[in-house]
Amino acid sequence: MSANEKIFSVLRAPRVSEKTARLQEVTNQYVFEVASTATKADVKAAVEQLFDVKVESVNVVNVKGKSKAFRNSIGRRGNWRKAYVRLTDGQAIDVSATA
């Protein structure tokens, strides 16, 4: 597996919402959906290589899937993992850009 493949297997997608937009403005933190096996070190390395920025800290959270009812059956959304990445002052990532 090449280095590029490893980056894209760790980082799945940026999470964009009102809460994450506020985090970007106030604390310079960005939120990404990451692989469930990804560690803090993996996420830090992937973000630094992909966006060419300096990462100050990484926090990861396991998000439990919700139970949802559809017609007469009850299903469950999958569990996933997200990472809060804090960049050093003066650094920024344009997460709204389309790849």
pLDDT at 1 over 90: no
Note the pLDDT tens digit of each residue in 64-87: 999 999 999 999 999 999 999 999
Mean pLDDT (whole number) for 46-53:
93
Query: Please, where are the H alpha helices in the chain?
Result: 3-10, 18-27, 40-51
So where are the chain's domains? Answer: 3-87
Backbone phi, psi, residue 17, to 5°? -155, 180
Candidates 98, 64, 70, 97; CA nearest to 82 is: 64
What pLDDT, on the 0 to 100 scale, is given for residue 34?
96
- Predicted confidence band at 5 (pLDDT cuts at 50, 70, 90)? confident
What pLDDT, on the 0 to 100 scale, is given for residue 97?
65
What pLDDT, on the 0 to 100 scale, is given for residue 96?
72
Q: Domain 3-87: which CATH class?
A: alpha beta
pTM of the model: 0.87
pLDDT at 60 over 60: yes
